[in-house]
Structure 1
Amino acid sequence: MINSTLPEPNTDQDELRTIARRHPWRWVSALVALAAGSGIVWAFASSPNIVWSEVGSYLTTRSILEGIGLTLLLTLVAQSVGIVGGVVLAVMRRSRNPVLRMISGLYLWIFRGTPVLIQIIFWYNLALIFPAVALHVPFTSFGFSVETNSLITPVAAAIVALGLNEAAYMAEIVRGGLLSVEQGQSDAATTLGMTRSQAMRHVILPQALRTIVPPTGNELINMLKNTSLVSVIAAHELLTASQQVYAVNYLVIELLIVASIWYLALSTVASLAQAYLERRLQVVLRVRQQPWTTRAANHLASLRSPSPTSDGKS
């Protein structure tokens, strides 16, 4: 009789060992990149043409700090204008009214198709087209008129140009967020008796925020850096403040390093805030655990109810 029982394997002798594959070129490339980066940093740090003591002394001067304040003001106000305008344009793009869709599409075509630097210069020189802004009540003498140059200051031109340009990009971000919400959510809101606008405000937009917020953080960082473009119209932001200082003392590289350090610091803070918001949104996406009171009540209810046996008898 043949014994068909197989012998048990000897786990001590037949145990398989996993050996990691070696990657010598990975270490070589890392060393080369580290050496190249260290060489560039050392070249800048040891350059006799850069007065690093002046860099430290100008980091906290009054002119630079005032420029930082205006940079933050331009960033927050222009980004707020862009967010509000982007939501309006995105809703217009999804409207059933063909005129609204056409106006929104034309707006996006113009503001996304022209450089933001040209838009800044255009709004600053608006007085060349309209020397004065007037508003009068028809068939009466009531009204007012103001010169455009006194109305469109460098700061106002910067806010209008940056805000309107940002609205075009935020419109696409918001539209993408709206498309990420399932059509069934809108149908369910309509079934409950909501109008289209009520469904947009109370159902669709709150869910779309989970998709809209992360790219909006990137746009905020880009806006922070784009404020440097308003130096062409002499708005006293960070770059203009640095330029005015090195125009007097000729420390061009030192003041540009000062501006770069502040831009990096502000961008880092904005990036940390964006990462925090993204973590909070990830928590919202997860299934939240029930409160301990609800879990305790469910546990007591399960203890009081009899547990049926397999044959149906208790």
Structure 2
Amino acid sequence: MSEPLGSAVQLDTAEPPPAPVVKPPPTTEQRVLPLRRPGRWIASAIVLVVVAQIAHGLATNPFFQWDRFSYWFLRPTILDGLLITLEVAAYSAVLGLIGGVVLALARLSRSPVLRAVSWVYIWLFRSVPLIVVLLFLYNFSALYQTLSLGVPFGPAFFTFDESRLATDMVVAVVGLSLNEAAYAAEVVRGGILAVDQGQHEAASSLGLPKGYQFRKMVFPQALRSITPNYVNQLIGLIKGTSLVFYVSLLDLFGSVQSMGSTYPGDIVPLLLVATTWYLILTSAVSVVQFYVERYYSRGALRTLPPTPLQKVRTGLGDLRARVRRETAA
């Protein structure tokens, strides 16, 4: 019999029973095994064998004459040449960097004359070999016996005797500096261009002088990019000082060459002495590069890269923790 119209329909509003709680099975500690990489171990073993063979050959081959190497390594003649190498490299690095900054700013200038002159200078000295520049400067007195400063096409106010000014040290430093400035200019210009354009706009919006903007805002940020590239140039400069021997300056390589001519039987240990000293110099520059890059990376990185001493401490701490875990297990 049908329900009468208007009667209320009752709905079942009772809540469903709660779902049974399923307890997860008890977990057990499982050791995570690292992925095996046999290729890496085989390659490492091959490299170690090759390195061991090279080291054994260097240590046992009588051709290298390590006793003569130890005799020549700290001789006064070699140390005097090393001092000249350091002086030439230091002066050329400073003058080359200053010249590179000036040329880079000229390349970025709005003046077409400055841009053109800077471009021609960089193009010229990057195209001419360094030995040609040194030999040209060494014989410069044959072209110009005197140098003068004064009014163009007019009287001279100051006159210099080029033969007295152009000593062997001056020729070497000037030649290396002129060559280094051309390469440093492109390194500096690339570092400045690497700075975000918004930084330039922010510096200009403050209404500060252009020189102050460059010194305090733009150049410090550009140094992050300039430092590693210029250190490569500096290492090349240190090795390039060996060419000053051809302008009669007895640097490290010149001293080795001179001693090799006097003692032809010691030419191999003398070359090893020069090689070792160049390795020491370039390694010292690389260490300085690391700390300079670390200093200028502040603000760009959340955590600074650890120093070698910090890496050693961290490695020792990890080793101690691993030993404790294995002992407890």
TM-score normalised to structure 1 length: 0.81
Aligned residue among 259, 264, 283 for 1:268: 283
For 1:49 and 1:41, how far apart are their aligned partners in 2? 14
> Which residues of 2 match residues 238-277 of structure 1 at below 5 A?
238-250=252-264, 251-277=266-292
Q: Give the Å deviation of 1:131.
A: 3.2
Aligned CA RMSD, in angstroms, stands at 2.7
Q: 2:207 maps to which residue?
A: 193
Q: Is structure 2 residue 194 aligned with structure 1 residue 173?
A: no
For 1:233 and 1:142, how far apart are their aligned partners in 2? 31
Q: Is structure 2 residue 35 aligned with structure 1 residue 21?
A: yes
Q: Give the Å deviation of 1:17.
A: 5.8
Q: 2:3 maps to which residue?
A: none
Q: 2:128 maps to which residue?
A: 114
Aligned residue among 138, 141, 155 for 1:127: 141
Aligned residue among 158, 161, 167 for 2:172: 158
Q: 1:216 maps to which residue?
A: 230
For 2:235 and 2:156, how far apart are their aligned partners in 1? 48
Kindly provide the CA deviation profile for residues 128-180 of structure 1, in whole angstroms up to 9, marking residues without a partner as x: 3223334467876864341x343322221211111111111111121122122
> What SS does structure 1 have at the residue aligned with 2:63?
coil
Structure 2 portions without partners, runs of 5+: 1-15, 304-329
Q: Give the Å deviation of 1:50.
A: 2.6
> What SS does structure 2 have at the residue aligned with 1:285?
coil
Q: Alignment length, in residue pairs?
A: 286
Q: Is structure 2 residue 302 aligned with structure 1 residue 279?
A: no
For 2:301 and 2:45, how far apart are their aligned partners in 1? 41
Shift in CA distance, 121/11, structure 1 to aligned 2, threshold 3 Å: farther
Q: 1:67 maps to which residue?
A: 81
1:188 maps to amino acid: A
For 1:249 and 1:267, how far apart are their aligned partners in 2? 28
Q: Is structure 2 residue 102 aligned with structure 1 residue 88?
A: yes
Q: Is structure 2 residue 27 aligned with structure 1 residue 12?
A: yes
| Range 242-251 or range 203-212, more displaced | 203-212
Q: Give the Å deviation of 1:254.
A: 0.6
Shift in CA distance, 239/182, structure 1 to aligned 2, threshold 3 Å: same
Shift in CA distance, 196/7, structure 1 to aligned 2, threshold 3 Å: same
Q: Give the Å deviation of 1:114.
A: 2.2
For 2:64 and 2:81, how far apart are their aligned partners in 1? 23
> Which residues of 2 match residues 28-107 of structure 1 at below 5 A?
28-107=42-121
Kindly provide the CA deviation profile for residues 103-122 of structure 1, in whole angstroms up to 9, marking residues without a partner as x: 11111111112222222222
Shift in CA distance, 276/191, structure 1 to aligned 2, threshold 3 Å: closer
| Range 132-141 or range 67-76, more displaced | 132-141
TM-score normalised to structure 2 length: 0.78
Q: Give the Å deviation of 1:18.
A: 3.9
For 2:149 and 2:69, how far apart are their aligned partners in 1? 50
* Residue pair 2:146, 2:159 contacting (<8 A) in 1 also: no
For 1:58 and 1:43, how far apart are their aligned partners in 2? 21
Q: Give the Å deviation of 1:287.
A: 6.9
Q: Give the Å deviation of 1:241.
A: 0.6
Q: Give the Å deviation of 1:4.
A: 6.7
* Residue pair 2:148, 2:157 contacting (<8 A) in 1 also: no
For 2:46 and 2:155, how far apart are their aligned partners in 1? 78
Structure 1 portions without partners, runs of 5+: 289-314
Kindly provide the CA deviation profile for residues 44-71 of structure 1, in whole angstroms up to 9, marking residues without a partner as x: 2212223211110111111101011111
2:75 maps to amino acid: T
* Residue pair 2:148, 2:156 contacting (<8 A) in 1 also: no
For 1:48 and 1:211, how far apart are their aligned partners in 2? 46
What percentage of aligned pairs have identical amino acids?
A: 35
